[in-house]
Amino acid sequence: MPNADVLIEWATRYGPNILAALVILAIGVFVARWVGNALQSRLDKLDMEPPVRLLLVRVTRIVILLFALMAMLDKLGVQTAPLLAGIGVAGVGIGLALQGVLSNVMAGLSIIFTKPYRVGEHISLLGVHGDVSVIDIFSTTLIHPDHSRIVIPNRKVVGEILHNSGTIRQLHLTVGLSYQADITKALTAAQEVLAENPRVLKTPSPSVGISTLGDHAVVVAVEPWVKVADYGTVQGELNQAIVERFRAGHIELPCPRQEVRLLSTP
């Protein structure tokens, strides 16, 4: 059977090389996974941003796999120099077609290494704000106070004015007082409410004072500092506690009034 003879001759001539190439590829995959896991466990012990660790592990695995792939092709008798040249030409075309993706990658690397913000911090930019939950190569994900997710392409972040509140935020509460109310007593009551709330930070110290003298009320500004995670909860707690404390202390709240005069005509 000539076909069987051809197959036997083909297997005898090329079989060992194919088998060796597959072994090289399998070893490369195993080494890439083992080195990546070892590097991951090593980097977890260092004070390093999660995206940086993820990037280093991925790059290490890719480099090892590329070396294994080149060794496999060389074992199969494939000329790697023309292949590399072809990959370079193809890379130029792919780069032009994926300019947006590549710009996101470069912007992501810039964010990861310059660290304008970190996971857990509250930032505001491009008309949106939220807590940073994920910093990836392509995008940054924020968690909005309503628990929705905001995904921002990294190229939109770089070059924009960014407001980073860090891990704490300042509440801006206002409460109106009647002009007949005891202002000193009201300020003391507001300070006591802040001191009794365990979520209010002692440092920086909260600010309590008169902000505006309105037409119908003396406006008191209450501005404590809280952790980012407590921002929404503390706002409601303080508003309720201040109202209850003012009522218990008989501190008069404003009641807008209008004076109407009737003029008699002859």
Structure tokens at 172: 């801006």
Which part of the chain is CATH 3.30.70.100? 168-248
pLDDT at 242: 93
- Indicate if the pLDDT at residue 46 is higher than 90: no
CATH assignment, 116-166:
2.30.30.60
pLDDT at 189: 93
- Model confidence pTM above 0.75: no
Which of 99-103, 117-121, 163-167 has the lowest average pLDDT? 99-103
Cis peptide before 266 (omega within 30 of 0): no
- Average pLDDT estimate for 121-145: 88
Which of 55-69, 148-162, 169-183 has the lowest average pLDDT? 55-69
Count the Cβ atoms, other than its own, within 10 Å of residue 262.
5
Measured CA angle at 77 (ends 71, 83), to 5 deg: 70
Task: Give the CATH fold of the 2-97 domain.
Answer: Helix Hairpins (1.10.287)
Q: Mean pLDDT score of the chain, rounded to an integer?
A: 81
pLDDT band of residue 1 (cuts 50, 70, 90) is very low
pLDDT band of residue 95 (cuts 50, 70, 90) is low
Which part of the chain is CATH 2.30.30.60? 116-166
- Indicate if the pLDDT at residue 23 is higher than 60: yes
pLDDT at 193: 93
pLDDT at 114: 84
Percent of the chain scoring above 70 in pLDDT: 81
CA distances from 146 to 15, 109, 143, 169, 177 (A): 62, 29, 8, 17, 31
Which part of the chain is CATH 1.10.287.1260? 2-97
pLDDT at 97: 46
- Indicate if the pLDDT at residue 55 is higher than 80: no
CATH assignment, 168-248:
3.30.70.100
Top mean-pLDDT range of 51-65, 68-82, 176-190: 176-190
